[in-house]
């Protein structure tokens, strides 16, 4: 077995081009080995050494492939991940992990049976803004938290050119898409809530899938509000935290996606460093003294996720984002849709 992990992508659209292949190509622990493209050769044009397969079955039959990344439309995640696990591969599934909890449970059981690693790609845990929030909370600078808001705001009246994102069906809509990020962050910071209330709407004139949501997560002494919408021309701060001692306000300003979309390859000491102008505002009581100051942001790096994947596969270290964590996100999404349907609080 080679030291570097031969890795295959199940597609080479935006996620393959922007979020996966750059990190696979610069990390010596991985070899971007193969891709499934039905008709195009987009990956080969950028990475000439990569092998292009025209069917998933032929790609999975390649015994040299150790790790498969399922980065295809949401409704295919369960089917393709199951086939990859059955073929004896380690598997990364993009968020959302699956469409429902039953599919998630089945994949988790199958991975254990096959003795293979199964992880959900949650890159937003490696954003500079989220890491900054986590550091502030770890340092207990705000006292006991009372209220938290996390936003993922956009202004985009037009529909996505990706038809699968705008076609009603399992896994479609902004709650599965952006909601998976916000819910995952909330669960990492605060654990599972006791109850969920959800307002889920369609706001764009031509949209047929939900493009707005507001979730309220109920904890014993804390309320967490998660919001995303497509008609926010002037975005609010991405993170608003209020505690018994003070507040922390931080914009969503991670630069990695913009840099990757511009064709920059990850690496260097400044990778994932926010502009100085995007510092978060801390206004709190520290040892009896009122402090109001701007906090330098932590560095973001999606490459840390892949470093964790390598350690999990080669050195049996903890998986950086577990399938069980991915399942909890789906549990909250299902509860949210139930809340919308019933117009009431849903107990978790």
Residue 317 forms part of a structural domain: no
Give Cβ neighbours of residue 160 (< 8 Å, ≥ 6 apart).
Answer: 166
Q: 76 with 145, same domain?
A: no
Low-confidence ranges of the chain (pLDDT < 70): 1-2
Whether residue 111 sits in one domain with residue 144: no
Write the pLDDT tens digit of every residue in 255-298. 999 999 999 999 999 999 999 999 999 999 999 999 999 999 99
Q: How far apart are alpha carbons 273 and 92 in whole angstroms?
A: 26
- Of 179, 169, 167, 172, which Cα lies nearest the Cα of 206? 167
Which of these three, 121, 146, 169, is where a domain ends? 121
| Residue position matching structure tokens 């959900």 | 120
Is 81 a member of any domain? yes
CATH of the domain at 178: 3.30.360.10
Judge whether 306 lies within some domain: no
Same domain, 165 and 266: yes
222-229 vs 145-153, strand pairing mode: parallel
| Angle (nearest 5°) at CA 38 between 20 and 23 | 10
Residue 320 inside a domain? The answer is no
Task: Show which of 73, 104, 121 is a domain's final residue.
Answer: 121
- Asked if 207 and 342 sit in the same domain, the reply is yes
User: Which of the listed residues 57, 89, 121 is the one where a domain comes to its end?
Assistant: 121
Classify 116 in phi/psi space as left (phi over 0), alpha (psi -120 to 50) or beta: beta
- Which of 61, 340, 296, 292 lies closest to 196, judged by CA? 340
Statement to judge: residues 151 and 290 lie in one domain: yes
**DSSP secondary structure of 167-194:** S-STT-SHHHHHHHHHHHHHHHHH---S
Say if residue 252 is in the same domain as residue 196. Answer: yes
Q: What's the rounded Cα separation, in Å, for the pair 274 and 293? A: 17
The answer to whether 224 and 198 are in contact (CB under 8 A) is no
Going edge to edge, which strands form the sheet with 30-36? 51-53, 30-36, 5-9, 67-70, 90-94, 118-121
Q: The tokens of 78 are what?
A: 């369960």
Q: Is 233 exposed, middle or buried (0-12, 13-18, 19+ CB in 10 A)?
A: exposed
Closest CA to 303 of 178, 152, 48, 121: 121
**Tokens of residue 251, six digits:** 């914009």
Residue 312 lies in a domain: no
- Residues 115, 162, single domain; the answer is no
Burial 144-180, CB ≥16 within 10 A → b, else e = ebeebbbbbbeeeeebeeeeebbeeeebbbbbbbbbb
Is the same domain home to 129 and 66?
no
* pLDDT of the residue at 162: 85
- CA 331/CA 339 separation, integer angstroms: 12
The residues, ordered by sequence, that sit 6+ positions from 47 with a Cβ below 8 Å of its Cβ are 21, 25, 32
pLDDT digits (tens, 9 = 90+) for 83-110: 999 999 999 999 999 999 999 999 999 9
117 and 238 together in one domain: no
Contact of 70 with 10, CB cutoff 8 Å: yes
**Could you list the residue range(s) of the whole structural domain that residue 54 is in?**
5-121
Q: Is 327 inside any structural domain?
A: no
197: in domain: yes
Q: What is the pLDDT of residue 2?
A: 55
The C-alpha atoms of residue 17 and residue 261 are separated, in whole angstroms, by: 8
CATH number at residue 71: 3.40.50.720
Tally the domains of the chain. Answer: 2
Distance between start and end Cα atoms, the chain: 44
- Beta carbons of 148 and 225 less than 8 angstroms apart: yes
Residues 46 and 149 in one domain: no
Do 99 and 145 have their domain in common?
Answer: no
Q: 56 and 30, same structural domain? A: yes
């Amino acid at each position: 077995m080679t030291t570097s992990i031969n890795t295959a992508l199940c597609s080479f659209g935006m996620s393959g081009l922007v979020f996966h292949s750059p990190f696979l190509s610069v990390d010596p622990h991985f070899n971007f080995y193969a891709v499934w493209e039905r008709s195009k050769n987009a990956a080969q044009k950028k990475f000439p050494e990569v092998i292009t397969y025209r069917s998933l079955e032929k790609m999975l039959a390649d015994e040299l492939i150790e790790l498969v990344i399922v980065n295809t439309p949401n409704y295919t995640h369960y089917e393709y991940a199951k086939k990859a696990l059955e073929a004896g591969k380690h598997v990364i599934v993009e968020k959302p992990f699956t469409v429902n909890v039953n599919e998630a449970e089945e994949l988790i059981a199958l991975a254990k049976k096959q003795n293979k690693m199964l992880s959900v790609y949650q890159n937003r845990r490696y954003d500079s803004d989220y890491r900054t929030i986590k550091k502030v909370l770890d340092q207990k600078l705000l006292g006991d938290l009372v209220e938290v808001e996390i936003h993922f705001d956009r202004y985009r009246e037009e529909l996505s050119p990706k038809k699968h994102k705008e076609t009603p069906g399992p896994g479609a809509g902004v709650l599965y898409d952006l909601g998976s990020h916000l819910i995952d962050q909330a669960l990492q910071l605060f654990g599972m809530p006791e109850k969920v209330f959800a307002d889920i709407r369609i706001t764009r004139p031509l949209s047929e899938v939900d493009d707005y949501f507001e979730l309220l997560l109920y904890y014993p002494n804390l309320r967490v509000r998660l919001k995303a919408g497509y008609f926010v021309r002037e975005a609010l701060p991405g993170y608003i935290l209020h505690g018994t001692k003070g507040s922390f306000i931080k914009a969503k300003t991670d630069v990695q996606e913009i840099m990757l979309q511009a064709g920059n390859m990850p690496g260097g000491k400044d990778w994932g460093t926010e502009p100085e102008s995007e510092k978060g505002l801390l206004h709190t009581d520290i040892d009896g003294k009122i402090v109001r100051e701007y906090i330098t942001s932590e560095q973001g790096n999606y490459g840390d996720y892949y470093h964790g994947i390598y350690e999990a596969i080669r050195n049996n270290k903890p998986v950086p984002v577990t399938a069980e964590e991915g399942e909890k996100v789906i549990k909250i999404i299902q509860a949210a849709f139930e809340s919308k349907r019933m117009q009431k609080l849903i107990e978790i």
